[in-house]
Structure 1
Amino acid sequence: MAETARPTHPLSIDEAWAFTAERASVTTFFFDFDGVLSPVTDDPDASQPVPAVLGVLERLATVVARVAIVSARPVSFLRSRFETLEHVDLYGLYGLEVWHDGEVVTEPAALEFVPAMARLAEQARAELPGEILVEYKRLSVALHYRVAPELAATVERWAHEQAERLGLRIQRGRMVAELKPPVDQDKGMVITEGVRNAGCAWYFGDDMSDIKAFDALRAREAVDPGFFGMAVAVANPETGAEVSSAADLTLDSPDAVAAFLTDGLRRF
């Protein structure tokens, strides 16, 4: 039987699943964590994947070539939430860390910034208002102002000053400014590399950094007529409109993501 021609965007969900099922052996599914597999919480340490996620990801990994989580979280955090998953790769800190086949690989160029990040986290706790939650991630420092949105300008100004002083980069997200090493690595680059030998890929995201991943799928389609990429946004009140406008499909919540995948698995 001849393979179905690659569908064009926009397309129906049925078309997307049919094409994916036909090419399951060369398909990769990528997921962000916060806001996609887990609700966003005031305290980042309290975040947990929604109950149905673990089972559905494990089942998905048995029918497609690869499943991976691509997150701003460190691999250590992701491992603590997904330790029962045996066949899911983890990209932490926008790809600066990778968990694959039981090992963590860290981008060497970022390692020299570990001491500076530890000092920066302590400085942030001392200098910023107490309402700001400082999340130290070994290779980056995230400044969360979710419980005090009126302090956004204060956080942004402080982050900009430290980035200038230390030669760091700023990654902005949902009620957060994150300082990270000046190393060329982001979700778009992870996906560009991750789909190099794929025939089909899906990416589920909810924040500004995920748009680069969507763009990577589009770029691969542009140079490979046999490749199909599906960009899925997850709705939220902060960055939802911009992310949805760059996606093929928008789902309502992490629970909706799990339900969507459960339904999709019936097509294989």
Structure 2
Amino acid sequence: MAESERPTHPLTTDDAWAFTASRASSTTFFFDFDGVLSPVTDDPDVSQPVPSVPGVLARLAESVARVAIVSARPVSFLRSRFGTLDNVDLHGLYGLEVWHDGEIVTNPAALEFVPAMADLSEAARTELPGEILVEYKRLSVALHYRTAPEHAAAVERWAHEQAERLGLRTQRGRMVVELKPPVDQDKGMVITESVRNAGCAWYFGDDMSDIKAFDALRAREAVDPTFFGMAVAVANTETGAEVSAAADLTLESPHAVAAFLAEGLGRF
């Protein structure tokens, strides 16, 4: 394959890395956090990236045009885990918050919902079973039922009722349902905007919301014959089958992601 020739799907990882190395100056790597850079935990507050991840991301950021984390987590949380990586952009809350060039930019349309989210988090702690972990994120509220899956239906019903009452949207994930502002913003929109001037992009995801990011890469390929997108799924027993079916490649775990990147960097 010639350096300038875009590989076609399906393709080998060797071809994908070779093309990426030839377009390094116009390549972006995007990563979800939970389940991709960090193992999923019962308590989301204790989640940490795999020990080798920060170093690998730092090396990657030196080798390509841009590295970004696109997560349902708030930027404040991501900063607490990756604060030393000044050259890695952080998109929090599905892109409602962005850390770029040393500052947080918040979508103005979401700010008016901050008081409602604070009230909603208190209501969830009062009205839902005590085993449900309520994660307040300032602009959204996530209801985790990983440790009490028998309450899944009740939690989802409660979330739907609150969304109807307050005019919010719900986002389902791995053993979690999240209430968020009715603002048009998701991971796919982040990727669509971010790859407008890119020649190549990779996205690593593990959950249903990440499929929109995969779709954004496909859409860019459809309108730009010079652009190459690589969708990578991280295996899990909860949403892994659907995500893997939408991806070009599946890796087994966050540790495998770190190893895969380290091996790929050797080709630059």
Report the TM-score when normalising by structure 2: 0.99
Rounded Cα–Cα distance in structure 2 between residues aligned with 1:150 and 1:247: 30
The letter of the residue matching 1:204 is: F
Q: How many pairs does the alignment contain?
A: 267
Q: What is the DSSP-based 3-state SS (H/G/I as helix, E as strand, rest coil) of the residue aligned with 2:255?
A: helix
Provide structure 1 residue ranges, at least 5 long, that are not aligned to the other structure: none
Rounded Cα–Cα distance in structure 2 between residues aligned with 1:74 and 1:3: 39
Q: Deviations over 1:149-189 (max 9, x none)?
A: 11100001000000000000000000000000000000000
Rounded Cα–Cα distance in structure 2 between residues aligned with 1:214 and 1:129: 35
The letter of the residue matching 2:250 is: T
Is residue 251 of structure 1 aligned with residue 221 of structure 2? no
Q: What's the counterpart of residue 11 of structure 2?
A: 11
Q: What's the counterpart of residue 86 of structure 2?
A: 86
- Alignment root-mean-square deviation, CA: 0.5
Q: What's the counterpart of residue 211 of structure 2?
A: 211
Q: What's the counterpart of residue 167 of structure 1?
A: 167
Is residue 220 of structure 1 aligned with residue 220 of structure 2? yes
Is residue 135 of structure 1 aligned with residue 135 of structure 2? yes
Where has structure 1 moved over 2 Å in runs of 4 or more? none
Percent identity among equivalent residues?
Answer: 86
Provide structure 2 residue ranges, at least 5 long, that are not aligned to the other structure: none
Per-residue deviation, 1:234: 0.1
Rounded Cα–Cα distance in structure 1 between residues aligned with 2:212 and 2:184: 13
Q: What's the counterpart of residue 73 of structure 2?
A: 73
Q: What's the counterpart of residue 121 of structure 2?
A: 121
Per-residue deviation, 1:84: 1.1
The letter of the residue matching 1:192 is: T
Per-residue deviation, 1:86: 1.6
Is residue 58 of structure 1 aligned with residue 63 of structure 2? no
Rounded Cα–Cα distance in structure 1 between residues aligned with 2:151 and 2:128: 10
Q: What's the counterpart of residue 158 of structure 1?
A: 158
Q: Deviations over 1:194-230 (max 9, x none)?
A: 1000000000000000000000000000000000000
Q: What is the DSSP-based 3-state SS (H/G/I as helix, E as strand, rest coil) of the residue aligned with 1:99?
A: strand
Per-residue deviation, 1:4: 2.9
Q: What is the DSSP-based 3-state SS (H/G/I as helix, E as strand, rest coil) of the residue aligned with 2:231?
A: strand
Rounded Cα–Cα distance in structure 2 between residues aligned with 1:102 and 1:205: 25
The letter of the residue matching 2:144 is: H
Q: What's the counterpart of residue 235 of structure 1?
A: 235
Rounded Cα–Cα distance in structure 2 between residues aligned with 1:112 and 1:266: 47
Report the TM-score when normalising by structure 1: 0.99
Rounded Cα–Cα distance in structure 2 between residues aligned with 1:38 and 1:161: 32
The letter of the residue matching 1:44 is: P
Q: What is the DSSP-based 3-state SS (H/G/I as helix, E as strand, rest coil) of the residue aligned with 1:20?
A: helix
Is residue 22 of structure 1 aligned with residue 22 of structure 2? yes
Q: What's the counterpart of residue 146 of structure 2?
A: 146
Rounded Cα–Cα distance in structure 1 between residues aligned with 2:92 and 2:79: 10
Q: Deviations over 1:51-74 (max 9, x none)?
A: 000000000000100000000000
Q: What is the DSSP-based 3-state SS (H/G/I as helix, E as strand, rest coil) of the residue aligned with 1:62?
A: helix
The letter of the residue matching 1:31 is: F
Q: What's the counterpart of residue 183 of structure 1?
A: 183
Rounded Cα–Cα distance in structure 2 between residues aligned with 1:238 and 1:206: 9
